[in-house]
């Protein structure tokens, strides 16, 4: 009867379907949250049959994992790209730049990714955060190499990185999703920057003080 549309090359066509599903999933999860998102919702939004959904994803969680993986990889990507520039900036400035840039990324497409990020943070679905931690550790290392004065700090950097990642990131995402936040986004970023900035500066002072006392002892 009616002519079939020119068949797309297998790989490409499949890729387009997967892409449509993932983008639809971002939308639906942003709108409804993980709990209220069904495979059917996603397939409908993607404009494909539910059968196709299961053609490309073994189950519903798999597409959520893909979502979170992309958010994580985008974040890693941003940090990686920004690292060379950040290491040349004062610490607060560097943190501000990074948070602004990540904030911009999350606000893409009408906040779709942002709302997903929130659900990602809360989800039980295990997504390996190690790549982000690694990237931040690398950033920290690069930064120290450029600012050897900070190298004297004695305390375990894992601790502050741990707190910054789990606490800072959570506060950041939480705030960005609030409707009527008690503090502004700029204040939040300043607060986080100061948290790190003050911390580092104080650490250094304490090292210096210790040096002096030790010097005095000598």
Least distance to DNA, CB of residue 45, Å: 12
Nearer to DNA, 62 or 105 (CB): 62
- Contact between 54 and DNA per CB under 7 A: yes
Instruction: Single out the segment in contact with a second copy by CB under 8 A; choices: 21-29, 66-74, 94-102, 161-169.
Output: 161-169
Instruction: Give the side-chain half-sphere CA count within 13 A for 32.
Output: 16
For the chain, count helices (H), then strands (E).
9, 0
Would you count residue 50 as binding DNA (CB under 7 A)?
yes
Nearest to 68 by CA among 109, 92, 34: 34
Q: Of these, 13, 59, 110, 162, which contacts a second copy (CB under 8 A)?
A: 162
Instruction: Out of 31, 33, 36, 77, point to the residue binding DNA (CB under 7 A).
Output: 36
Q: Is 110 left (phi over 0), alpha (psi -120 to 50) or beta?
A: left
Phi, psi dihedrals of residue 23, rounded to the nearest 5° = -65, -40
- C-alpha torsion sign, points 92, 95, 96, 97: positive
Are 24 and 45 contacting, i.e. CB atoms less than 8 angstroms apart?
A: yes
> Which stretches of the chain bind DNA, using CB under 7 A?
3, 7, 9-11, 13-14, 16-17, 36, 38-40, 47-56, 58-60
> Which stretches of the chain bind a second copy, using CB under 8 A?
1, 4, 32-33, 35-36, 40, 44, 121-124, 155-156, 158-160, 162-163, 166-168, 170-171, 174-175, 182-183, 187-188, 190-192, 194-195, 197-199, 201-203
């Amino acid at each position: 009867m009616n002519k079939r549309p020119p068949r797309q090359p297998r790989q490409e066509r499949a890729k387009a379907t997967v892409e449509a599903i993932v983008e639809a999933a971002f939308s639906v999860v942003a709108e409804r949250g993980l709990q209220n998102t069904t495979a059917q919702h996603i397939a409908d939004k993607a404009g494909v049959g539910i059968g196709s959904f299961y053609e490309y994803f073994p189950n519903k969680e798999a597409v959520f994992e893909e979502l979170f993986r992309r958010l994580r990889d985008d974040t890693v990507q941003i940090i990686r790209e920004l690292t060379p520039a950040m290491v040349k900036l004062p610490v607060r400035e560097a943190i501000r730049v990074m948070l602004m840039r990540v904030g911009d990324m999350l606000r893409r497409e009408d906040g779709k990714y942002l709302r997903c990020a929130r659900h990602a943070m809360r989800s039980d679905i295990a997504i390996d955060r190690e790549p982000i931690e690694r990237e931040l550790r690398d950033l920290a290392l690069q930064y120290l190499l450029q600012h050897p004065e900070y190298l004297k700090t004695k305390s375990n950097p894992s601790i502050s990185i741990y707190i910054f990642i789990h606490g800072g990131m959570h506060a950041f995402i939480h705030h960005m999703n609030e409707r009527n936040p008690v503090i502004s986004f700029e204040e939040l970023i300043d607060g986080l920057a100061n948290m790190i900035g003050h911390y580092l500066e104080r650490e250094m002072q304490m090292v210096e003080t210790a040096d002096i006392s030790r010097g005095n002892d000598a």
